[in-house]
A and B are shown apart, each in its own frame.
Chain A
Amino acid sequence: MIRLDRISKTFGTRPALHELSLDIPQGRIFGLLGHNGAGKSTTFGMILGQVHPTTGTAYIRDISVQDHRMRALQGVGAIFETPAFYDYLSGWTNLRILTSYTRRLPDAELRETVNFVGLEKRIHDPVRVYSHGMRQRLALAQALLPRPELVLLDEPAEGLDPEGIHEMRHLILRLNRERGMTVILSSHLLAEVEQLCDCIAVLNQGRMIFHGNWTDLKAESVRYELDLEPWDSAAALIAARTDCSLTPDRMLTIAPSHDVADVVAALVNAGIKVRAVSPVRQTLEQVYLELVGTPRETVTQ
């Protein structure tokens, strides 16, 4: 669906993106992650033809964005971190204006999309009275008109309250499942990306350091956080076993195809008080922080 072919961008003397090559298949929800200034917005900009790459080309459906931008952007919708509208006009008029740059759309199609994003009661109010959540929904509405195959979402949940984040997440899932849309998502909310995407790319200082299914990076071994006493006796017993080990941060690692129940039974039989054994799930945040080289703290499920 989208292919970035060794795309680089330098602003003046500052390199923003270095030879990024990426292939995003159709029908997926793809996450683009990275720190502030990693090059995510620059990548979006080059996909949409709003930023000219220093080298390389972006393709949408094998059409070069740099050479045939208008054709490439047929069937593409996008939403930016801070969606901007003509505040003195109504939401409906804003949609009419923005969609006129694609093609004429019947009112019924606009109404259907407005209902989909849940703005039907306020669509004729001026945008200046909209809350942030309503603006995000209006932004999503304009991105969905007319029925794109690909939607680029740059921080779609930015500034939303928990209900808004929940709603946005479900809207995105519906777009992918009901309409088969390819969604490229850029977000700092790793918990959201974790729920939406299994395929991600991670940018760090303008370079891609990971591309693929992040679940592949999860630790193979299962880990557990232990609350027991006395610790020294337990540590000595665990050290003598071959089916488990203790990490420096006091996590019990069970080797694959072995059962934590066996270890717990051995500890109890040795007179050690076992108060809690809590499985530790490795999150996308932990995977991400490991990738970018930041020490992690474990999260107990």
Chain B
Amino acid sequence: MPLFLTQLKFELLKMFARKRTYIGFAAFLLMECVILMICNLRGPQMALRRLIEQNGYGADEYFSGFTLALMIVHWTSTLLGSLYLALIAGDLMAKEVEDGTMRMLLCRPISRLRVTTLKYLSSIVYTFVLIAFIGLTAMLAGLAYRAPGGLFVYFPEDHVFALIAPERALRMYLLGMPLLALSMVSISSIGFLFSCCNMKPAAASIVTLSVIFVDFIFHGIPYFESLKVFFINTHLTAWVQLYQAHPPIWKMAEDYCYLLGLDFTCLIVGSAIFLQRDLK
């Protein structure tokens, strides 16, 4: 076990020692600033205030730093999260094979299954670190602009409309982050699967994004309403259900079981593909 943890540590070192990892983080910061600027515009501000006041609540109390932060997290993860995780996950195995370091690594008495497991775990850690970064920076940005207060949650596509009292806002905001990370792990998992195949890192990332995008499109077509349960995007947004007045725990558990099953399948199938490959 200690050797496994040492190996995992080095996988994370390989990942976080690259400068381009931090370029990605900078991109997220930039996106957060852009979203903050949009929220600062008169039109969106007024629309948000109207929404809150129409339901009999004080806009000043619920148009708070936490509300802004949650909006920033939602939009950033939606617009950039999938893209960036697909890039990182697509690189996981394929980049090392392309660079030749995988051959160096497999000269060692280490099983290919351990290599894939270590890589997969490092992608999970990375996903959680990325979401934690987004959550923390969004919260700081939101609180720098607006005072702490209640949490107003409005995600119409997921039928979520909630106003959370100020004393619970921080806790609920923070609770949502690990759930969001758990959802995003599925994108990393799909990227990992394609990364194990005999393809270039860029191809693995593109195929991953294509799968997510096609899934998103089909998910939105009314004709496939009856098949919605099979689409990944149906379950990816399970984390926002946490903010319902009465969170549908069983529905959320079902969604996460689907996602975890998908993650596990990607790990097993990806590993099986990699185990059979000739590295030459």
Binding site for B on A (CB under 8 A): 11, 41-42, 45, 48-52, 69-74, 76-78, 80, 82-86, 88-89, 93, 96-104, 139, 142-143
Write the nearest CB–CB distance from B241 to chain A, whole angstroms. Answer: 41
Contact A78:B278 (CB < 8 A) given known A84-B100, A86-B14: no
Against A, the Cβ 8 Å flags (1 = close, 0 = not) of B152-167 are 0000000000000000
Contact A88:B19 (CB < 8 A) given known A83-B104, A100-B3, A102-B108: yes
With A and B bound together, what is the CA distance between A71 and B107 in angstroms?
12
With A and B bound together, what is the CA distance between A88 and B15 in angstroms?
11
Q: Which single residue of chain A is at the shortest CB-CB distance from B8? A: A100
B18–A84 contact, CB under 8 A? Answer: no
The interface residues of chain A lying within 8 Å CB-to-CB of B55 are none
Write the nearest CB–CB distance from B10 to chain A, whole angstroms. Answer: 5
Contact A97:B13 (CB < 8 A) given known A70-B110, A80-B100, A84-B99: yes
The size class of the interface chain B forms with chain A is 20 to 34
The answer, yes or no, to whether B245 is at the interface (CB within 8 Å) is no
A102–B100 contact, CB under 8 A? Answer: no
Partner of B7, one of A70, A100, A143: A100
28 CB contacts below 8 A, A to B, read A41-B280, A42-B280, A49-B106, A50-B106, A50-B107, A51-B280, A52-B276, A69-B109, A72-B109, A73-B108, A78-B107, A80-B103, A84-B104, A85-B104, A86-B14, A88-B17, A88-B18, A88-B19, A89-B14, A96-B10, A97-B14, A99-B108, A100-B3, A100-B10, A101-B110, A102-B110, A103-B3, A104-B3
With A and B bound together, what is the CA distance between A191 and B108 in angstroms?
30
B3–A77 contact, CB under 8 A? Answer: no
Additional pairs, 19, CB under 8 Å, beyond known A70-B110, A82-B100: A42-B280, A45-B278, A49-B106, A50-B103, A50-B278, A50-B279, A72-B109, A78-B107, A84-B99, A85-B101, A85-B104, A86-B101, A88-B17, A97-B13, A98-B104, A101-B105, A101-B108, A102-B109, A103-B3
The answer, yes or no, to whether B54 is at the interface (CB within 8 Å) is no
Partner of A45, one of B6, B101, B110, B279: B279
The interface residues of chain B lying within 8 Å CB-to-CB of A83 are 100, 104
Which of B19, B101, B111 is the most central at the interface, judged by chain A CB atoms within 10 Å of its CB?
Answer: B101
Write the nearest CB–CB distance from A39 to chain B, whole angstroms. Answer: 11
With A and B bound together, what is the CA distance between A71 and B104 in angstroms?
17
With A and B bound together, what is the CA distance between A51 and B99 in angstroms?
17
Q: Which single residue of chain B is at the shortest CB-CB distance from A52? A: B278
The interface residues of chain A lying within 8 Å CB-to-CB of B276 are 52
Q: Which single residue of chain B is at the shortest CB-CB distance from A70? A: B109
The interface residues of chain A lying within 8 Å CB-to-CB of B106 are 48-50
